[in-house]
Structure 1
Amino acid sequence: MRIGIIGAGQMARALGNGWAAAGHEIRYGKRGETRETVEFGDVTLLAVPVSALTEVLGQGSFDGKTVIDCTNAFEPDSGSMVLAEDAVAERIANEAPGARVVKAFNLCAAEVWEASERVFEGRRLAVPLCGDDAEALAQVEELVHDLKAEPVRAGGLNRARYLEAMSAFVVGMWFAGADARAVLPPLEAAFAVED
């Protein structure tokens, strides 16, 4: 698969290097190279700050393209885990009509994708995906598998805002020194009883 990556930061490199190791063709493009990067890829990863999205999306046509949104609308190094925007993936879909947007890869830091291990406490790392296009979701599922993680369809693009809020909450816990994985029991211990 050909993957165009818009961004030059740690997340862009971590995911891009993982996909290159799995045999995909990768092209990195900075903000001013959006059109060429989108044209190159079967899939385009947006790995830029949320503040740059309007500029990036205005520089090329994303019509019919699968676009992976891994952005988060907070600055993790600022110490404040407050969302500056509560529906980034939906905004991308609105500003890039015709794009097949999938929210993914926004819950883990780049260091997780740079590491060789994807199994923690005997469980493979799961990557929630939110999107409305079945073909785009299937492409992103393949890319998740290629990084040795497990894709989980988490609903339509309208549910991506919950992933975005979850990232702020979970990252805030990690920065506070709490183990976010300890908040929820494993699947076999989680059940609901109807009232």
Structure 2
Amino acid sequence: MSPLSLLLVFAVSAPALAERPPPNPDPRPMGPPDPHLDALAGASDVGDWAVSLEAGFPFFGARGQVALPWAGLNAVGSVNSALFTDTWALGGVSRRWVDTHRVVLSGEILVGGTIRSGDLSRRGPASQTTLRLARGHGRVVPALTLSSRHVLLTDVQEIQTAEGDVVQRSRSIAWSPVASFDVGVGVCPGFAVSAGLDVPWFDPPGFSLPGAHINLIVGGWK
């Protein structure tokens, strides 16, 4: 090919190359807020928030999250009860670790306390770590949640001896893992519903009955 031909090809292709838009650094498409994605994925985009109300067996509760302006963090608060006897009140932070069109992966750390009423009453400081894996986009969003709850318990035992009563105190940690699978559906901008199955273990290795729940989710309104 002659130098004149090369120059002509370059002159024709240069405007097209110059007009080509830069690649979008965000792999997820922009659009209206997806509160069901935010709630099920565990973290909202910057400037967004989400609140979910849960009802089912054995869990009832509410959870809220709002995006913080630092490093993709979200402030999270939740109140959860199992059959209205084992109640957890927790607060902390969550963060999206993977955020693409295909998948969203987030983790959260919450601290607070728990109270159990009934014959086996107990209370103490508690913590919860959670991993959430959800589809990254779409009106229908499946999600998997794995949670690990820990409670620091103080056991008090009173022993009667010849010298008098002796009180002994000991500490133990109660562990309660929970696995959940949800499917969320966006009804309209700012409102969604989800339904799911729960597999809890209360005081493992004892077996607990699986459960189910539905969520009403709102969020993203400016």
Higher helix share: 1
TM-score when scaled to structure 1?
0.31
Q: Which of the two has higher C-alpha Rg?
A: 2
Relative to total residues, which structure has the larger strand share, 1 or 2?
A: 2
TM-score (norm 2): 0.28
